[in-house]
Structure 1
Amino acid sequence: MKHIISKKSFRLAGYAKVPGDKSISHRALIISSMCIGKSKIKGLLESEDVFATMNALKTLGVKIEKSNGCWFVNGVGIFGFKEPTEYLDLGNSGTGARLILGAIMGSSILANLKGDASLSKRPMGRILTPLKMMGAKIISSNNEKLPITIKGPKEVFPLNYSSKISSAQIKSSILLSGLAASGKTVFKEPNESRNHTEKMLSSLGANIQSKTLEDGSYKVELGGNPVLRSGNINVPCDPSSAAFLVVAAVICPESKIELKNIMINKGRTAYLKL
């Protein structure tokens, strides 16, 4: 058994390197796979969850390689994922599973997704319902949990969907599916969830607009069938991981630490206002 002993500290000083943001890392891999051409990703979080997403994309025919500290993704386009001959094993990556379900809709392929024991207990119904409305055929013998079999439609239907809860994963899955629709997909949620997918899609060429409505709800409109441009994606450092260091410096008098390239996003950094 290992023991951790914490002792009182009077001052923290110096520079600390914070790992890349996990949410951005998943999206960078998935969305760059849907681009045309080669994308360069710098600062990718090299964690078990992110590698599970990466390996699933490789199984779908995406070429992903590391060179000189950066990752390079050869995108296959919105409609170019290949039908896998084995399970897409997402391990414990809930973000990877939910976003990939939406991303592969336009490729009209049959895919089987599974996860580890923990992920297989987590609900997927809130993702599966809108994807079915967009044309997917889905089979789950585990009460809408993994393992799941999905067959993408020949034509993805645009969707006008109001979510009962604010969820970046529901929103992202619908938007990634909506890229393959021949019309406008509209997503609405009670409050704005983290907007990483909208911002990344916009930067890579998607026709996407978002706004907060008078009642405080949030709406995103996405035009279908864009040509997503490959490009350079710099993954910022994770503000959630940085929070531990920030709090430690705040509670230790006369501390001065330096954290570089931390992502500042209103949906992720509310603790800085406390």
Structure 2
Amino acid sequence: MPLSATRGQPLTGRVRVPGDKSISHRALLLGLLARGETRISGLLEGEDVLATAAACRALGAEVTQDGPGAWRVFGVGVGALAEPREVLDFGNAGTGSRLMMGVVAGHGVTVTFDGDASLRKRPMRRVLDPLLKMGAEIVSESEGGRLPLVLRGNGDPLPIVYETPVPSAQVKSAVLFAGLNAAGRTTVVEREATRDHTERMLAHFGARIFVEPEGEHGRRITLEGRPNLKGREVEVPADPSSAAFPLVAALLVPGSDILIEGVMLNPSRTGLIKTLREMGASIEVAETRGHGGEEVADLRVRASVLHGVDVPAERAPSMIDEYPVLAVAAAFAKGETRMRGLAELRVKESDRLAAVTAGLAANGVDHRVEGDDLIVRGGRVRGGGTVETHLDHRIAMSFLCMGLASDEPVTVDDATMIATSFPDFVPLMTRLGASLKA
């Protein structure tokens, strides 16, 4: 379904974006692995998270919905997964599938993983390699370690010390989930620290986990195996990656002034806000409070004149999902913005680096790629182009934000996949005053 965004009135109002996707996945998985009842409020009910909920049911948990965003999980406990009768189909959910591979790897069950056409293209080997060291076995796989694949877990996994070759919260989390059923300590060493939701939530559910600095930017995370995880209450804060879209749109559309409620401000997720402030963005943080080990706050965002900056590569782990919409902001900024170290963008839901550059080109934005760096020279954006999304929700939403401030409308070729992470994107943006038309 094509969708177009047109420049119009200022964006105004107060909104709350969906619950954080990363925490929603982890809340369900830890609810599965805990004994007793886990109550979750604010769960993101996008297609990705619902696929994880269905997988938890297939592995033995009782998962029920009490109302919008309100879910209960009756878990089976570490070491007690049931072998599923059906294929676990994760749709487009890269996070859900990779984290569940870690869960399965530490249990004596055999599971078939599959997904949609986009997920089938994404590499899984970086997650599978450490799980094989822990005793899991790949029964069958598609070319290049891709889905569909059959994974046989190990009911007595080996505790290992694993240094991640690239910064990846998904790899780290998969190893820690597998290590839950290991008789001993499992350690993950990161040279560049990544988002730490798994560590925080494991502690919240009763695991003994220790985090120490490692080198200049890294961390060493050690988990004691076979904890007695107990069901907990989890309040899912608003997703900063989803908040990025109305936030950037409000910065770009003249006269805009909006408030985004309850956004998670975990330090490992605030790279975009830091970068935009360096560019001159007016983003005020108010009503800071805590929820389940995470800091949340309201963000007041007002239209701003932005200027180009140099974004260091070491910031990438804290904003890896936000680079497409940052590139859109850079297209309107005065001068040149260089985003360094974007190799990881090539292996997301699409080759996001290629998709972003193609979208910029289609709308007349001056840019170039040097190695793994994206350089955008901003100013006035002509627009008028149609952007190929490659079934990537973040590409779709990013370029719709461009159309709200460009001279001519911007069209995305397919907006259907936005439902994977932000089902209410169109009505929410429309309430703020955005002009979006199918």
TM bracket, shorter-chain basis = over 0.9
Shift of residue 254 of structure 1?
Answer: 5.2
Shift of residue 59 of structure 1?
Answer: 1.1
Residue equivalent to 1:116 = 116
- Checking the alignment, whether the CA contact within 8 Å between 1:92 and 1:115 is kept in structure 2 is yes
Shift of residue 22 of structure 1?
Answer: 0.9
Residue equivalent to 1:18 = 17
Separation (CA, whole Å) in 2 of partners of 1:86 and 1:64 = 17
Shift of residue 103 of structure 1?
Answer: 0.9
Residue equivalent to 1:100 = 100
Q: What is the SS of the residue equivalent to 2:187?
A: strand
- Checking the alignment, whether the CA contact within 8 Å between 2:162 and 2:188 is kept in structure 1 is yes
Q: Mapping of 1:225-264 within 5 angstroms?
A: 225-252=226-253, 255-264=256-265
Separation (CA, whole Å) in 2 of partners of 1:221 and 1:144 = 28
Match status 1:196 vs 2:197: yes
Separation (CA, whole Å) in 1 of partners of 2:190 and 2:158 = 20
- Checking the alignment, whether the CA contact within 8 Å between 1:192 and 1:212 is kept in structure 2 is no
- Checking the alignment, whether the CA contact within 8 Å between 1:186 and 1:220 is kept in structure 2 is yes
Kindly indicate which of the two structures has a greater share of residues assigned to strand. 2
**Cα displacement string for residues 218-246 of structure 1 (whole angstroms, at most 9, x for unaligned residues):** 21111101111211101111111112222
TM-score, scaled to structure 2: 0.60
**Cα displacement string for residues 155-179 of structure 1 (whole angstroms, at most 9, x for unaligned residues):** 1110100111010000000000011
- Checking the alignment, whether the CA contact within 8 Å between 2:104 and 2:152 is kept in structure 1 is no
Residue equivalent to 1:86 = 86
Match status 1:205 vs 2:206: yes
By relative contact order (CA 8 Å, sep 6+), the higher-ranking structure is 1
Aligned residue identity for 1:138? I
Shift of residue 38 of structure 1?
Answer: 0.5
Shift of residue 252 of structure 1?
Answer: 4.3
Shift of residue 27 of structure 1?
Answer: 0.8
- Checking the alignment, whether the CA contact within 8 Å between 1:38 and 1:74 is kept in structure 2 is yes
- Checking the alignment, whether the CA contact within 8 Å between 1:82 and 1:107 is kept in structure 2 is no
Shift of residue 3 of structure 1?
Answer: 5.4
**Cα displacement string for residues 54-93 of structure 1 (whole angstroms, at most 9, x for unaligned residues):** 1111111111001143100001111111011111111111
**Paired positions, count:** 273
Separation (CA, whole Å) in 2 of partners of 1:44 and 1:264 = 17
Residue equivalent to 2:141 = 141
Residue equivalent to 1:224 = 225
Aligned residue identity for 1:90? F
Structure 2 residues not aligned, in runs of 5+: 278-438
Structure 1 residues not aligned, in runs of 5+: none
- Checking the alignment, whether the CA contact within 8 Å between 1:238 and 1:262 is kept in structure 2 is yes
- Checking the alignment, whether the CA contact within 8 Å between 2:189 and 2:221 is kept in structure 1 is yes
Please report the RMSD computed on the Cα atoms of aligned residues, expressed in angstroms: 1.6
Separation (CA, whole Å) in 1 of partners of 2:93 and 2:140 = 18
Residue equivalent to 1:126 = 126
Separation (CA, whole Å) in 2 of partners of 1:232 and 1:152 = 29
Aligned residue identity for 1:110? T
Shift of residue 265 of structure 1?
Answer: 1.3
Go from structure 1 to structure 2 and tell me whether the alpha carbon gap of 1:214 and 1:249 turns closer, same or farther (over 3 Å shift).
same
Aligned residue identity for 1:191? E
Residue equivalent to 2:6 = 6
- Checking the alignment, whether the CA contact within 8 Å between 2:79 and 2:155 is kept in structure 1 is no
Match status 1:185 vs 2:186: yes
Aligned residue identity for 1:121? K
Question: Which stretches of structure 1, 4 residues or more, deviate above 6 A after TM superposition?
Answer: none
Separation (CA, whole Å) in 1 of partners of 2:270 and 2:256 = 20
Residue equivalent to 2:32 = 33
Separation (CA, whole Å) in 2 of partners of 1:67 and 1:121 = 35
Shift of residue 124 of structure 1?
Answer: 0.8
Pair member with larger Rg: 2
- Checking the alignment, whether the CA contact within 8 Å between 2:185 and 2:224 is kept in structure 1 is yes
Q: What is the SS of the residue equivalent to 2:147?
A: coil
Shift of residue 106 of structure 1?
Answer: 3.4
**Cα displacement string for residues 111-140 of structure 1 (whole angstroms, at most 9, x for unaligned residues):** 111112211111111111111110111123
- Checking the alignment, whether the CA contact within 8 Å between 1:105 and 1:180 is kept in structure 2 is no
Aligned residue identity for 1:102? G
Aligned residue identity for 1:44? L
Separation (CA, whole Å) in 1 of partners of 2:132 and 2:252 = 50
Shift of residue 271 of structure 1?
Answer: 2.0
- Checking the alignment, whether the CA contact within 8 Å between 2:115 and 2:147 is kept in structure 1 is yes
Q: What is the SS of the residue equivalent to 2:117?
A: coil
Separation (CA, whole Å) in 1 of partners of 2:254 and 2:119 = 41
Q: What is the SS of the residue equivalent to 2:223?
A: strand
